[in-house]
Amino acid sequence: MSLVVVGSVAFDSIETPLASREKVLGGSAVFFSCAASYFTPVYLSGVVGDDFPQHHVDFLKRRDIDTAGLQFVSGGKTFFWRGRYRPNMNDRDTLDLRLNVMADFDPVLPESYRRCKYLFLANGSTKMQLRVRGQCPGVTLAVADTMDHWIRDEPEQLRELLRKVDGLVLNDSEAKLLSGEENLVKAGHAVRAMGPRFVVIKKGEHGAMFFSDFETYVLPAYPTPQVVDPTGAGDSFAGGMMGYLAQQGNVQPKTLKEALAYGILVASFTVEDFSLDRLKRLTREEIDQRMVEYKRMLSF
């Protein structure tokens, strides 16, 4: 089944201890779409300025990503982020952030998008996420991401959103912030009690945790020695997870766990190069081969 994602499309300038890249393709909706496209057709909603080059659009289309929902703002500039990773490659500092056209992004989904059954509200203003959620009353599964900024600045809207989505994906520090719990197991259950049927806590290089009424589990990250650029890992994780769920067309516990594993594996490829470079040359066969290794790693 097809999958809609609403989120950012961006230019990223990235510095790591070993190398740097200027104004490469990024954004939550882009990483998500590309990751999900290995499993299912994806409908992307986002906004760019007229500085956004056609070859990036062509790349998305080649990956079977529908860009009918990608708005072009004439005279506007695309969202821009500049960040620098610390030596541990987990912590990073934002050196510059320009919302540009993203500041006034008010997505109006095309009709074809509104009939989709799987919806992912990638990181963005909670108010905007709520408006999009309202445009898709008939979805089978709505999952949202959020971040510290919205947890602090839009707490009431976030509470409302949590009652209107089936799942929430957030990282470990965000889960602690939102729940007030330092223990991640307690934090996950506390967030789940706010509304969603399931909560996924992303732990970066340490994998991901899943919480539902019936289950609590952790899956480790795939141990890749090749970490070049962690940007987009979290969005790729969500894309792999949601893409697999949409492909399977169900959210049974078994499918959810497989989806979590696929999310982890797609993210493990994303970090192996800058921007979308690794995903651009990734094949579904490579994902499935890594899945075999991953399952073997967890068997004893």
Asked if residue 219 binds a copy of itself (CB under 8 A), the reply is yes
Residue range at the interface with a copy of itself (CB under 8 A); choices 128-136, 141-149, 209-217, 273-281: 209-217
Residue in 110, 186, 194, 277 binding a copy of itself, rule: CB under 8 A: 186
Asked if residue 185 binds a copy of itself (CB under 8 A), the reply is yes
Question: In the structure encoding, which two tokens stand for residue 85, read together?
Answer: 């990773």
Q: Smaller CB distance to a copy of itself: residue 189 or 197?
A: 189
Tell me how far CA of residue 9 lies from CA of 69, 91, 257, in angstroms.
Answer: 12, 22, 28
Nearest to 264 by CA among 233, 227, 293: 233
State the CB neighbour count (10 A cutoff) for residue 134: 9
| x-marked contacts with a copy of itself along 220-249 as a string, rule CB under 8 A | xx-xxx-x----------------------
Nearest distance in Å: CB 98, a copy of itself? 30
Asked if residue 295 binds a copy of itself (CB under 8 A), the reply is yes
| Cα–Cα distance for residue pair 66/112, rounded to 1 Å | 10
Q: Smaller CB distance to a copy of itself: residue 54 or 299?
A: 299
- Which of positions 87-106 make contact with a copy of itself (CB under 8 A)? 87-89
What does the DSSP assignment read for 211-234?
E-SS-EEEEPPP--S--S--TTHH
Nearest distance in Å: CB 254, a copy of itself? 7
- Sequence letter at residue 186: K
Contacts (Cβ under 8 Å, ≥6 apart) of 13: 20, 21, 22, 23, 24, 80, 81, 82, 83, 96
Residues that bind a copy of itself (CB under 8 A): 17, 87-89, 182-186, 189, 203, 205-207, 209, 216-221, 223-225, 227, 254, 257-258, 261, 295, 297-300
